């Protein structure tokens, strides 16, 4: 499939997505820091809100790191000439699917199997 795809354009799209995620990481606030449980400083509901915010920030960070790993894998597949081929059946991954998720490693048939 790499013959049909504009690999330079896909590489740039992946690099742009990577930079966007890295920028978000640099801009992240202290929401994932440890929540202090000093009752004199904040009430019970405020601590619960802070703990919930902390968990949400940590989950976002995990998703960001997972996506960065997937982007790195897609960039390696571009370099190896394997980008756009399904890992399972070897068939081409539809361009529409790659437009939605440029890190996709399986065609829609293999994902649903």
How high is the pLDDT of residue 89?
95
Q: What is the mean pLDDT of the chain?
A: 85
pLDDT score of 20 = 93
Confidence class for position 40, pLDDT limits 50, 70, 90: low
* Cα distances (angstroms) measured from residue 10 to each of 5, 50, 73, 84, 87: 8, 39, 13, 10, 18
**How large is the average pLDDT for residues 45-64?**
84
Q: Where in the chain are the domains? A: 7-83
pLDDT-derived band at 45 (thresholds 50, 70, 90) equals low
The per-residue pLDDT for 37 is 53
The answer for residues whose C-beta is within 8 angstroms of residue 86's C-beta and 6 or more apart is: 92, 93, 105, 106, 107, 110
Residue pair 103/14 in contact (Cβ under 8 Å)? The answer is: yes
Instruction: Judge contact between 83 and 2, C-beta under 8 A.
Output: yes
């Amino acid at each position: 499939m790499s013959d049909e795809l504009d690999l330079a354009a896909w590489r740039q799209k992946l690099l742009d997505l990577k930079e966007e995620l890295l920028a978000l990481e640099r801009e992240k606030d202290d929401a994932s820091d440890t929540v202090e449980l000093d009752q004199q400083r904040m009430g019970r509901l405020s601590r619960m809100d802070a703990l919930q915010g902390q968990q949400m920030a940590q989950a976002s960070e995990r998703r960001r790191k997972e996506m960065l790993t997937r982007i790195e894998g897609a960039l390696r597949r571009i370099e190896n000439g394997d980008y756009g081929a399904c890992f399972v059946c070897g068939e081409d991954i539809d361009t529409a699917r790659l437009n939605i998720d440029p890190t996709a490693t399986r065609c829609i048939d293999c994902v649903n199997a």
